[in-house]
């Protein structure tokens, strides 16, 4: 144990805010003690009453999550406001994200953008990434692709791997800067080697298409596998395509179908389309027009579902009215499979905490 628990408790009983805060962290994370969210919350609350700003932030975060007590978002927001007003950068970031999540409209978005800018200027890396996203989308601030790129560069320069991936995507697409595929590939490779699934998939895609590198299905397969192992839906589908075509591996339609299903169940539009087509054509699975129409319906509802929309019409024409009603009921009940525990997709924020 890296601290003297008895000493912390003695100091806490005397009203030492720092000791109260450290005890809160210990009981929250189970550091040297059995985890106890309720006790952690109590220590945070006592430290927060003494204007210990990290404790105020942690108290608010626990209330927002319902960690140790029933969720109380309104009280959490008020606590974040207190700490943010005092200049605490993590509270500024957390308050901004809370405002963006509730989608309260232009006023909330503008307030969130301002908070993110304040935290970003203080060096909060997640705030830099989030602010870049708002600048790219023009949400809460006028769209400014060049300024967004500057914030991504700052976050990437600090070593944040997801920021490197986002910066690579900007260079690839020429977003806020002239397209620079060699720079994009170098960043994708750096982030992919650090274990970022999005970068692994995008690097694999460059090799599969021969974009900026010599086409190499074998190398593409390696990167797709790494990303698929992290439950990245696009990579699951891409790996399925490789098995279906028999490029870089012996053709294996059963494995392709399995991978399409995994991607489809995670909500991936290409996986849903490919699975629907498999049911339509009877490819390594018994032809089933109802299942085909269900998966194609889900894919067609997505912006990138043009292929599914084109295929769905013909499938629907072959269905009886009762079958089409069943398709609609199935599609209405469908919910995406949660990402695997510990996967990149399971993490709420792909970022780099530093506060």
- With a cut of 90, say whether residue 18 has pLDDT above it: yes
Nearest CA to 265 among 319, 157, 345? Answer: 345
Q: What pLDDT is recorded for position 226?
A: 98
- With a cut of 80, say whether residue 37 has pLDDT above it: yes
Helix (H) or strand (E) holding 185: helix 181-193
pLDDT band at 341 (very low <50, low <70, confident <90, very high): low
Residues 3-18: what's their mean pLDDT?
92
Q: What pLDDT is recorded for position 330?
A: 98
Q: What pLDDT is recorded for position 342?
A: 61
- With a cut of 60, say whether residue 355 has pLDDT above it: no
Residues 326-335: what's their mean pLDDT?
98
Q: What's the rounded Cα separation, in Å, for the pair 150 and 147?
A: 5
Q: What's the rounded Cα separation, in Å, for the pair 286 and 281?
A: 9
Q: What is the mean pLDDT of the chain?
A: 95
Q: What's the rounded Cα separation, in Å, for the pair 182 and 213?
A: 9
Q: What pLDDT is recorded for position 181?
A: 97
- With a cut of 50, say whether residue 346 has pLDDT above it: no
What is the crossing angle of helices 125-137 and 161-173, to 10°? Answer: 20
Residue 318: partners with Cβ closer than 8 Å, 6 or more residues away: 289
Name the maximum alpha-carbon separation found in the chain: 77
Q: How long, in residues, is the chain?
A: 355
pLDDT band at 343 (very low <50, low <70, confident <90, very high): low
pLDDT band at 110 (very low <50, low <70, confident <90, very high): very high
pTM of the complete model: 0.86
- Six token digits for residue 85: 């007003």
CB pairs under 8 A, 24+ apart, for 138-145?
Answer: 139/109, 139/113, 140/106, 140/109, 140/110, 140/111, 140/112, 140/113, 140/114, 141/110, 141/113, 145/170, 145/175, 145/176, 145/177
C-beta separation of 244 from 278 below 8 A: no
Residues 155-162: what's their mean pLDDT?
96
pLDDT, one tens digit per residue, over 243-296 is 999 999 999 999 999 999 999 999 999 999 999 999 999 988 999 999 999 999
- With a cut of 50, say whether residue 348 has pLDDT above it: no
pLDDT band at 4 (very low <50, low <70, confident <90, very high): confident
- With a cut of 70, say whether residue 169 has pLDDT above it: yes
25-34, 211-220, 328-337, 341-350: the lowest-pLDDT one: 341-350
Residue 136: CB atoms within 10 Å:
20
C-beta separation of 58 from 24 below 8 A: yes
Q: What pLDDT is recorded for position 344?
A: 60
Exposed, middle or buried by CB within 10 Å (0-12, 13-18, 19+), for 169?
A: middle
- With a cut of 80, say whether residue 350 has pLDDT above it: no
Residues 213-233: what's their mean pLDDT?
97
Residue 48: CB atoms within 10 Å:
24
Q: What's the rounded Cα separation, in Å, for the pair 90 and 104?
A: 21
- With a cut of 70, say whether residue 156 has pLDDT above it: yes
pLDDT, one tens digit per residue, over 45-54 is 999 999 999 9
C-beta separation of 160 from 129 below 8 A: yes
Q: What pLDDT is recorded for position 349?
A: 47
Q: What's the rounded Cα separation, in Å, for the pair 239 and 225?
A: 7
The residue written with tokens 């942690």 in the block is 58
Q: What pLDDT is recorded for position 284?
A: 87
């Amino acid at each position: 144990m890296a601290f003297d628990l008895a000493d912390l408790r003695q100091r806490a009983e005397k009203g030492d805010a720092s000791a109260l805060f450290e005890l809160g962290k210990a009981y929250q994370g189970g550091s040297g003690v059995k985890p106890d969210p309720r006790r952690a919350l109590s220590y945070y609350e006592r430290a927060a009453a003494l204007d210990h700003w990290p404790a105020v932030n942690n108290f608010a975060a626990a209330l927002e999550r319902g960690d140790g007590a029933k969720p109380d978002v309104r009280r959490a927001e008020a606590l974040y406001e207190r700490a943010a007003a005092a200049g605490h950068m993590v509270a500024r970031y957390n308050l901004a994200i809370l405002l963006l999540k509730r989608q309260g409209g232009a006023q909330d978005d503008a307030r969130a953008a301002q908070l993110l800018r304040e935290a970003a200027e203080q060096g909060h890396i997640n705030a830099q990434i989030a602010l870049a996203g708002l600048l790219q989308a023009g949400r809460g601030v006028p769209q400014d692709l060049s300024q967004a790129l500057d914030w991504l560069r700052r976050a990437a320069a600090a070593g944040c791997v997801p920021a490197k991936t986002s910066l690579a995507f900007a260079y690839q697409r020429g977003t806020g800067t002239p397209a620079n595929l060699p720079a994009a590939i170098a960043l994708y490779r750096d982030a992919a080697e650090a274990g970022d699934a999005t970068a692994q998939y995008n690097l694999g895609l460059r090799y599969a298409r021969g974009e900026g590198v010599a086409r190499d299905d074998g190398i593409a397969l390696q990167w797709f596998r790494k990303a698929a192992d992290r439950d990245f839906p696009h990579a699951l589908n891409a790996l399925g395509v490789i098995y279906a075509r028999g490029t870089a591996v012996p053709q294996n339609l059963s494995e392709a179908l399995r991978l399409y299903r995994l991607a489809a169940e995670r909500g991936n539009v290409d996986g849903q389309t490919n699975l629907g087509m498999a049911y339509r054509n009877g490819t390594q699975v018994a032809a089933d027009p109802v299942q085909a129409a269900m998966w194609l319906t889900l894919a067609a509802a997505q912006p990138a579902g043009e292929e599914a929309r084109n295929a769905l019409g013909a499938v629907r024409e072959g269905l009886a009215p009762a079958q089409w009603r069943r398709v609609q009921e199935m599609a209405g009940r469908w919910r995406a499979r949660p990402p695997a525990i510990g996967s990149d997709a399971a993490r709420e924020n792909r970022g780099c905490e530093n506060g």
